[in-house]
Amino acid sequence: MGEDGVRLRVEGPVATIVIEREGKLNAFDAAMVAELQRLCALIERDAAIRVAVMTGAGAKAFSAGGDIEAWSRETPEDFGRFWVREGHAAFDALARLRQPLIAVLNGHALGGGLELAACADYRIAEAHAKIGQPETGLGIIPGWSGTQRATRRFGAQAVRRMAIFGEILTAGEARELGIVDEVVDTGQGFARATVLAEKVCSRAPLATEIAKMLVNAAETEETERVFDCLAGMAAAQSSELQAGLAAFRQRRPPKF
């Protein structure tokens, strides 16, 4: 991916995702969207990873969202089919990671950057960060669940203020509205995330994973998958499964 991209660093039980496109305010192109989805699959499957942290390169922006030069070249049909749909797939994978996700807004989180932050379970904003949804000022809508997941997680009125009335919020204002969980001094976001990551790692891993899934289900983030997953875990631990598998392998009717 050259110098720009989405990077993954794993140190012990902590995975760190860094959006590295500082010259474009960490805006996403199509290749970065695809890479984010790929990295989420790696994190999901790594049993040693207990928590993930996500941040942007540099100090100006967490992410400015989708690269205007990238998406504006799409035909209207392909914009919907690919740019919006593939962005949803990547952001859904991020929001539905089994591990808790902490976002460090080390700079501005605008448009798709705020939609990216909305995928996290906990958001830390550095004091200089600005937060908003400027899309309607460009003649487009927040397309990567900026009206859906963002409304579930931030509340409808906060989204109205940003998406309809064009408010750009300070970190403090975003904290008052519940868009971010806490505000720290500029440059201190990652250190604070490290403390929180250590706290997560001190807690029971399976219970934490299940608690996250249940909260997601309560928000209708992934209701069907959560119920199937939890029911599958319960069924897989039963003696009935072992009896059924033994019968299958021995090519005989099971005796439950």
Across-strand partners of 150?
A: none
**Tens-digit pLDDT string for the chain (256 aa):** 446 899 999 999 999 999 999 999 999 999 999 999 999 999 999 999 999 999 999 999 999 998 888 887 888 888 888 888 999 999 999 999 999 999 999 999 999 999 999 999 999 999 999 999 999 999 988 989 999 999 999 999 999 999 999 999 999 999 999 999 999 999 999 999 999 999 999 999 999 999 999 999 999 998 888 889 989 888 888 898 888 888 999 999 988 8
For the entire predicted model, the pTM comes to 0.92
Give per-residue pLDDT as tens, 190-248: 999 999 999 999 999 999 999 999 999 999 998 888 889 989 888 888 898 888 888 99
Architecture category of domain 5-201 in CATH: Alpha-Beta Complex (3.90)
Q: Where are the chain's structural domains?
A: 5-201, 205-250
Give per-residue pLDDT as tens, 150-164: 999 999 999 999 999
